[in-house]
Amino acid sequence: MDQGIARIRGACGHDCPDTCGWIVDVQGEVATRLRGDPSHPFTRGTLCAKVNHYLERVYHTDRVLHPLKRVGPKGDTRFVRVSWDEALADIASRWKAIVAQSGAEAILPYSSAGVQGIIQEASLDRRLLGSMGCSALDRTICGAVAAAGLSATIGTGSGIDPESIVHSRYIVLWGTNTIVTNLHYWPYVREARRRGAKLVVVDPIRTRTAAEADWHLAIKPSSDAALALAMMHVMVRDGLVDTAYVTQHTVGYDALVHRVREYSPEAVSPLAGVSADEIERFAREYATTQPSLIRPLIGIEHHRNGAMQFRTLACLPALSGAWRHRGGGLARSTHALHFAALAMDRVLMPEVYRPGVRTLNMRDLGKNLCDDSLRPPVRALMLYGSNPMVSMPNQSRIEKGLRREDLFTVVHDLFLTETARFADYLLPATSQIEHLDLSPAWGHLYLALNRPAIPARGESVCNTELFRRLAAALGRTEPWLSESDESMIRAALGSGHPWLEGITYERLWEEGHVRLRCPDDWRPFANGGFPTRSGKTELWSDALNEAGLDPLPSAGDIAVGQGLQLITGKALHFLNSSYGHIDRHRRGEGELPIEIHADDALERGLQPGEVVRVWNERGEVRAVCRISDRVRPGVAWMPYGGLTDAAGRRRSVNILTAEEPTDWGGGSGLYDARVEVGAVTG
């Protein structure tokens, strides 16, 4: 060890499946280096285009380091520095007045996964705001629809251990851009290919990942369920179904057989935009090359038929019998596996929440803020770990709502985000190297302890400390509102779950990360045992039937409409909206582009490199036109996460998206937006 340098293990807190282990070098109280932990099996000593520069974020001159109070009109960003005591006292008295006049439901907490970890993401905030009886927030913008869809079929949103992909022989990355969004999984895919696996990518865009595949199926957006039904059609017709598995471990097979009759490859080909021959081949290869693995992540849930798409995909591994084999089946988020092992109720304490409060969906922020008929109206917002002005649909309506002079908005963040510009109080938040957290992952089974490496910068506080302070300012004295961070983490680890055996706070403190004690060769559904009502894969679902939904898999509501269908997927240099204000990352992405097919450009008379208008009934952005065969005719691609358009205006791509509920599970049909593209005139 070098003289005077302490090396502290931690874990990335971003909303990303990889949850990398990192090592921070600290001299005195200054972090001098942050690198991927070479001993972390998933991280393997490397980070990513974003987090390689994490210390620039920590020490950025734009960091908010003191509580700020608005002095100008909303959105003018004129703030003055105030003390924590002053800010807390004023917030407490404003909230008390609102509660007295309109009831606590007039206060809406608003947070997402800006920091991921069991205490900083959700703990004392839930206890305090839940026990006050504030409105509840339905946090379904990411993962909830996928989980709801999969659960309808297999009872869970997760599947096998993603690492067992190395044993797969046929891998389908289905609507996920692994190299951009899940980079540390790529070496596992490569290893499987080295051992002979074939890689298929199903994605309307020829992403970086699709370009690396053995076979790219450039499907039409939201037609995945139709494609899967056609695959099942072929499997049933050609006797490629694992009948023993289906008989023992599924319900509703006969009804499914009846259903898939109408989904012949010829019938589905025009819907999915791939040829009947390709569908035949895909079905045959998928069914006969075992172990076969389907790997979706989030992309396909951002459609109106998102849940049905996931539900339908989840039928395939039962028909193929892929669950039997190591490396076969379906692998999605591992969060549910971590959360099943940890004693989360001890952290969240749902028993203290006031029952019967209303729930508002996070997708509808703009709508709710502008809704005069809402009783009580939203009079106060407590925002943290989310930047809805950029990340939620219908940016213009959100802005209109946030501009309301009668709305009292408190934002807790590290930066003056697009949302924080409209705050009445902006409170400084710590970065991940300044606070403690326990970090489960949604892309693997390593649980990490994130140790603080440096003291909190300026007067910033972590989320848990913020809510301890708010509770005290409100005069609340219950001990569970001031529980320490360490105590909550120890409580979560103390579940007695077999997968946590031997995983103690002390061990995590020393080692940084430990793999959950998932059995070797874990094949959760090799012998059935699905956590569904019937204990089987539910090809027919009574639960959906009772909810008035189609009990069988179907193509769902495939997006159609005028103009181009706009997919706004994740960008390499941004993490959702984070890093959008940092020059290095903006340069990395360049000016906001729109990629369209040559046919669509020709029809509109557009040239490559030209700045064009992209618009619909909700708004307009300017973007640099890229003409590319990475997209199919009728589909346009723009990266999500940037803060400005190509004319330098504060407009994100979400000015073009609508608050559009999906079939079930919440969420929003973000990728169903329709746009027109044209020359800038005048």
Ligand X SMILES: Nc1nc2c(c(=O)[nH]1)N[C@H]1C(S)=C(S)[C@@H](COP(=O)(O)OP(=O)(O)OC[C@H]3O[C@@H](n4cnc5c(=O)[nH]c(N)nc54)[C@H](O)[C@@H]3O)O[C@H]1N2
Q: Which residues bind ligand X (CB under 6 A)?
A: 15-16, 112-115, 120, 141-142, 174-177, 180-182, 202-205, 207, 219, 221-222, 224, 297-300, 303, 384-388, 390-391, 412-415, 417, 429, 463, 567-572, 574-578, 640-641, 653-654, 657, 670-671
**Phi and psi of 428, rounded to 5°?**
-80, 130
Q: Which is nearer to ligand X, 241 or 462 (CB)?
A: 462
Q: Which is nearer to ligand X, 99 or 228 (CB)?
A: 228
Shortest separation between residue 300's beta carbon and Mo ion, angstroms? 13
Interacting partner of 575 out of Mo ion, ligand X, none (Cβ under 5 to 8 A depending on kind)? ligand X
- State the SS3 of 596-638: ECHHHHHHHCCCCCCEEEEEECCEEEEEEEEECCCCCCCEEEC
- Tally the residues of the chain: 682
Interacting partner of 417 out of ligand X, Mo ion, none (Cβ under 5 to 8 A depending on kind)? ligand X
Interacting partner of 450 out of Mo ion, ligand X, none (Cβ under 5 to 8 A depending on kind)? none
Q: Which is nearer to ligand X, 92 or 555 (CB)?
A: 555
Shortest separation between residue 427's beta carbon and ligand X, angstroms? 8
Interacting partner of 414 out of ligand X, Mo ion, none (Cβ under 5 to 8 A depending on kind)? ligand X
Contacts of residue 681, defined as CB under 8 A and 6 or more positions apart, other chains included, come to none
Q: Are 437 and 120 in contact (CB under 8 A)?
A: yes
Interacting partner of 228 out of Mo ion, ligand X, none (Cβ under 5 to 8 A depending on kind)? none
Interacting partner of 464 out of ligand X, Mo ion, none (Cβ under 5 to 8 A depending on kind)? none
Q: Which is nearer to ligand X, 219 or 337 (CB)?
A: 219
Q: Which is nearer to Mo ion, 129 or 575 (CB)?
A: 575
Name the residue among 435, 483, 484 with its Cα closest to residue 455: 435
Q: Which is nearer to Mo ion, 551 or 569 (CB)?
A: 569
**Phi and psi of 202, rounded to 5°?**
-105, 110
- Residue 529 region by backbone torsions, left for phi larger than 0, else alpha for psi between -120 and 50, else beta: left
Interacting partner of 654 out of Mo ion, ligand X, none (Cβ under 5 to 8 A depending on kind)? ligand X
- Residue 594 contacts Mo ion per CB under 5 A: no
Interacting partner of 537 out of Mo ion, ligand X, none (Cβ under 5 to 8 A depending on kind)? none
What is the C-alpha separation between 215 and 202, in angstroms, rounded? 9
Shortest separation between residue 298's beta carbon and Mo ion, angstroms? 5
Shortest separation between residue 174's beta carbon and ligand X, angstroms? 6
- Burial class for 501, CB neighbours closer than 10 Å (0-12, 13-18, 19+): exposed
Interacting partner of 168 out of ligand X, Mo ion, none (Cβ under 5 to 8 A depending on kind)? none
Shortest separation between residue 176's beta carbon and ligand X, angstroms? 4
Shortest separation between residue 442's beta carbon and ligand X, angstroms? 9
The secondary structure element, H or E, covering residue 200 is strand 198-202
In this structure, the strands spanning 425-428 and 68-70 are antiparallel
**Phi and psi of 199, rounded to 5°?**
-115, 120
Q: Which is nearer to Mo ion, 332 or 523 (CB)?
A: 332
What is the C-alpha separation between 530 and 236, in angstroms, rounded? 22
Range 269-280 burial, b when 16+ CB lie within 10 A, else e: bebbbbebebbb
Interacting partner of 176 out of ligand X, Mo ion, none (Cβ under 5 to 8 A depending on kind)? ligand X
Interacting partner of 334 out of Mo ion, ligand X, none (Cβ under 5 to 8 A depending on kind)? none
Shortest separation between residue 375's beta carbon and Mo ion, angstroms? 32
What is the C-alpha separation between 473 and 546, in angstroms, rounded? 46
Shortest separation between residue 616's beta carbon and ligand X, angstroms? 13
Shortest separation between residue 113's beta carbon and Mo ion, angstroms? 7
Q: Which is nearer to ligand X, 315 or 500 (CB)?
A: 315
Q: Which is nearer to ligand X, 203 or 659 (CB)?
A: 203
Interacting partner of 551 out of ligand X, Mo ion, none (Cβ under 5 to 8 A depending on kind)? none
- Helix, strand, or coil here: 514? strand
Shortest separation between residue 149's beta carbon and ligand X, angstroms? 13
Shortest separation between residue 308's beta carbon and ligand X, angstroms? 12
Sequence-distant contacts of 251-257: CB under 8 A, at least 24 apart: 251/534, 251/536, 251/537, 251/538, 251/539, 251/540, 252/538, 252/539, 252/540, 252/541, 252/551, 252/552, 253/539, 255/539, 255/540, 255/551, 255/552, 256/232, 256/315, 256/539, 256/540, 256/552, 256/553
CA distance readout (Å), 265 to 201, 237, 287, 315: 19, 11, 15, 17
Q: Which is nearer to Mo ion, 142 or 205 (CB)?
A: 142
Which residues does residue 216 pair with via DSSP β-bridges, in sequence order?
A: 201
Q: Are 132 and 354 in contact (CB under 8 A)?
A: yes
Shortest separation between residue 563's beta carbon and ligand X, angstroms? 16
Q: Which of residues 115-154 bind Mo ion (CB under 5 A)?
A: 142
Q: Which is nearer to Mo ion, 198 or 573 (CB)?
A: 573
State both tokens at 177.
């851009």
Q: Which is nearer to ligand X, 218 or 503 (CB)?
A: 218
Instruction: Provide the mask over 312-331, with x wherever binding to Mo ion is found by CB under 5 A and - wherever it is not.
Output: --------------------
Which residues does residue 108 pair with via DSSP β-bridges, in sequence order?
A: 381
Shortest separation between residue 218's beta carbon and ligand X, angstroms? 9
Got the DSSP string for 96-137?
A: HHHHHHH-GGGEEEEE-SSS-STTTTSSHHHHHHHHHTPPEE
Radius of gyration of the chain (CA): 25
DSSP state of 546: H
Q: Which is nearer to ligand X, 159 or 321 (CB)?
A: 159
Interacting partner of 552 out of ligand X, Mo ion, none (Cβ under 5 to 8 A depending on kind)? none
Contacting residues toward Mo ion, per CB under 5 A: 142
